[in-house]
Amino acid sequence: MTATLAQIWRHPLKSHGREELASVSLSEGACLPWDRHWAVAHEAAKLPEPMEWVRCANFSRGAKVPALMAISAALDEATGRLTLRHPDLPPLTFDPETEAKAFLDWVAPLMPADRAASARIVRAPGRGMTDSAFPSIAILNAASNRALGEALGQELSPHRWRGNLWVEGPEPWQEVTWLGRDLRIGGAVLRVEQRITRCKATTANPDSGRIDADTLGGLARIGQGQEFGLYASVVQAGPIARGDRIEVL
């Protein structure tokens, strides 16, 4: 099998935008840098003090607010300022640490009236707010995405899955055989821990934020249950870049 790292993505503000990277350095036991660094707690959230990792049900997210899926992001790491764009809103540049109100005012028109409103921006010291209980990096096979699209009779944007590392080369669903194994990518090694169980966020078109695909039904019909992609942990730190060869160890 020949496998290549085709794309690297991060999501600085959980469920509120994606950003492509050409390269990044991974640290042992950590998420992809700045991925899910912040999250948006809604008004019904039950959060600990001091703040730590909590489940995604406490946050505003695409499964409940499909319009959020159409946000793109750009983070200035030097200043910590984040720029968000959505097809129905003007661009917003703000500091999530000090200018949360500007963000809450900006995102309010996207929030359904029957959902808990976004209330504040939070972060968990030392790790990203991934959907997994451990600091994870999401690895996805581009061929599996195309195969699901063929089964549904429509092209599926990879952005539906909010992944970190997209792989080209393996056959559709070949990634399932990587469970429990290590992957060498560039100078890093990642251990594949578990498959990713998917939610309704994937049914929304990431260009428009409107529901237009039965992704969950399609996965079930082709025998994949409700799972797409893999959660992995970094077991050896190192740099990775687009075009790196991937070796299954």
Domain boundaries, the chain: 3-248
Q: Tell me which H or E stretch contains 195.
A: strand 188-197
What distance in Å separates the CA atoms of residue 165 and residue 7, rounded to the nearest whole number? 6
pLDDT (0 to 100) of residue 1 = 75
Asked if residues 95 and 82 have their Cβ atoms less than 8 Å apart, the reply is yes
Span 167-196, average pLDDT: 98
What distance in Å separates the CA atoms of residue 198 and residue 213, rounded to the nearest whole number? 14
Report the CATH superfamily, name and number, of domain 3-248: PK beta-barrel domain-like (2.40.33.20)
Tell me the two tokens of residue 222.
């082709």
**Of 168, 119, 115, 113, nearest in space to 140 by CA:** 168
Lowest mean pLDDT among 1-5, 232-236, 245-249: 1-5
Burial class (CB in 10 A: 0-12, 13-18, 19+), 19: middle
What distance in Å separates the CA atoms of residue 46 and residue 210, rounded to the nearest whole number? 28
CA distances from 139 to 56, 157, 185 (A): 19, 15, 11
Q: Is the pLDDT of residue 222 over 80?
A: yes
Span 10-20, average pLDDT: 98
Q: Give percent of the chain above pLDDT 70.
A: 100
Span 185-210, average pLDDT: 98
Span 15-33, average pLDDT: 98
What distance in Å separates the CA atoms of residue 177 and residue 218, rounded to the nearest whole number? 21
**184 SS3 class:** strand
**DSSP string over 4-72:** EEEEEEE-SBTTS--EEESEEEE-TT-PSTTTT-BEEEETT----SS-----GGGB--TTT-GGGGG-E
pLDDT (0 to 100) of residue 204 = 98
Span 101-118, average pLDDT: 95
